[in-house]
Amino acid sequence: MAAESTKPRRPISLFVLAMMSAAVVVGLEGLPEVGSFGLPLVVYYAFFTLCFFLPVGLVAAELGVGWPHDGGVYRWIREALGERWAFMGIWCQWVQILVWYPTVLAVCAVSLSYAIDPDMHDVGWFKVVVSLGIFWAATLINFKGLSISGWLTTALLYLGTLLPVFLAIGLAAWWLGSGRESAIPLEWSGLVPRIDSIGEVVGVVAIFSFLSGLEVNSVHFRHVRNPQRSIPRSLLFSGVLVLAISVLGALSVAVLVPVEEIDLAAGTLQVFSKVLGPLGWGWMVAILAGLALAGMIGHIMVWVIGPTESLRVAAEDGLIPPVFQRTTAGGAPRNVMLLQGCVVSVLCLLMLFFDLNRIFYFLTIASAQVYLVMYVLMFLSVIVLRFKQPSVPRAFMIPGGIVGLMVVAGGGGLTATAGIIVMFWPPVTKDMSMDGSTFTIALLGTFAAIVLAPLILYRFRNPEWQGRPGLPGTETTRSGWKRGD
């Protein structure tokens, strides 16, 4: 076991935790895609909120206050189902975020191009340089620990996400209030989804990706002031904020930008260009692009450390080599984050050879599908732990007793399982360049490789790796809990 740290980690306030939870889910990069659904997006969000987003929040709250230890989802699944499935859960969480990074970093590059030179929009080397610079900057900042990155993330969320989205919502309201025409029909009948094929359902199921992640900051629950009170409240506050921003922000894009003109990488900025340009305020677009860039950087910063912290705890259990137990003086999982940075750098270099906008849906669906595997395990874990460890104090429990637990966690698990199955069907969208059979085969291969990888790696675990003492370069303690806690 590593030597005890003489410097305790600073507690996280309810406000910072709530803002970090909102930042991990909310991102401007998803608004254009959801906005392309038109007015029915309200119905889609209502469905996914009831069947998935709300269950995730309730389950994370119960598990978070019952087991507020380092490791988050890994810890919860391990307590319920054992190390093998816990490793699969956090592996899927980590791999899906690796797939997501190149797309959101490409959006960051587009935002910067709007701020300095719109002609750089499609320049490959520009996207790569910007993407690598932003990602490694976010990684190095997180090396300092949450005392710095937590508040910085909160500030970036305010300036770079809330401000641009609220402005976009205000511009859409002004546009309609001044008698101008909406790009989508604003009638009650327009709320009714018109889904003519399962391929169209697959495109809608991508919303899973934009309502995922509420549990990511559970790795920090142990460091929250008064966790029994703060954790459920922070999840409730951040959940309401996420839904308000997501629905209204996507609607602003749908109202102002015709579906056939929506650019998946620049949809939110298109709103500002369309409205502010004719008014003679086009110069504001560059400023707003800079703010949007800041917001997405904050979004990335939260994800950079969350899943990697769970992998560090898995390393302490001896599931991966002890080199990944090493942390920085600020408590960040240094070597896991460095490995992550190298993988993301290679993926970003692929921007020089591929148009990510053309495979955006494949990446979105592939990452969502893998992530849902983790959610199935998480929903199953809360049910198992209610029976397996009923005496563990839980300041918050899913209401309704066993029936309520089964409705919430069971319903969430069934929804996630259905999502995994449905997404193997090729989507119907103009942005998908693959034909149906190629898409399905590619997705089956990708899914199988990712899900089988942790099961294979688990066979090579070494009990001697567990909590090895005296690792060079380790300046912080172990999580503070032992196997069997």
Q: Answer whether 93's CB lies under 8 Å from 314's CB.
A: no
Note the pLDDT tens digit of each residue in 211-250. Answer: 777 776 665 666 677 766 777 777 777 778 888 888 888 8
Residue 426, SS3 per DSSP: coil
Q: Which of 13-17, 302-306, 407-411, 424-428 has the lowest mean pLDDT?
A: 13-17
Note the pLDDT tens digit of each residue in 62-102. Answer: 888 888 776 788 989 999 999 999 999 999 988 888 888 88
The answer to whether residue 8 sits within a structural domain is no
CATH of the domain at 43: 1.20.1740.10
3-state secondary structure 187-227: CHHHHCCCCCCHHHHHHHHCHHHHCCCCCHHHHHHHHECCH
Nearest residue to 369 (alpha-carbon basis) of 422, 331, 322: 422
Q: Answer whether 295's CB lies under 8 Å from 164's CB.
A: yes
Please give the model's pTM, rounded to 2 decimal places: 0.79
CA–CA dist 148, 146 (Å, integer) = 5
**Which domain, by its residues, includes 70?**
14-465
In the chain, the percentage of residues whose pLDDT exceeds 90 is: 18
The answer to whether residue 34 sits within a structural domain is yes
The answer to whether residue 66 sits within a structural domain is yes
Number of domains in the chain: 1
Question: How confident is the model at residue 230, as a pLDDT?
Answer: 75
Note the pLDDT tens digit of each residue in 30-63. Answer: 677 777 777 888 888 888 888 988 898 889 888 8
Q: Answer whether 271's CB lies under 8 Å from 168's CB.
A: yes
Q: Answer whether 266's CB lies under 8 Å from 108's CB.
A: no
Selected residue with higher pLDDT from 459 and 262: 459
The answer to whether residue 209 sits within a structural domain is yes
The answer to whether residue 411 sits within a structural domain is yes
Average pLDDT, the chain: 78
| Over residues 441-462, mean pLDDT | 90
Confidence band of 5 (pLDDT split at 50, 70, 90): very low
Question: How confident is the model at residue 429, as a pLDDT?
Answer: 59
Confidence band of 3 (pLDDT split at 50, 70, 90): very low
The answer to whether residue 482 sits within a structural domain is no
Confidence band of 461 (pLDDT split at 50, 70, 90): confident
Two tokens, residue 214 = 């509420």
Q: State the helix-helix crossing angle for 163-177 and 227-256, rounded to 10 degrees.
A: 40
Two tokens, residue 131 = 């993407």
The answer to whether residue 471 sits within a structural domain is no
Q: Phi and psi dihedrals of 443, rounded to 5?
A: -70, -40
CA–CA dist 367, 100 (Å, integer) = 7
The answer to whether residue 437 sits within a structural domain is yes
Residue 178, SS3 per DSSP: coil
CA–CA dist 296, 179 (Å, integer) = 33
Sequence length of the chain is 485
Q: Answer whether 2's CB lies under 8 Å from 474's CB.
A: yes
Nearest residue to 331 (alpha-carbon basis) of 5, 1, 3, 21: 5
| Over residues 281-305, mean pLDDT | 79
Question: How confident is the model at residue 341, as a pLDDT?
Answer: 92
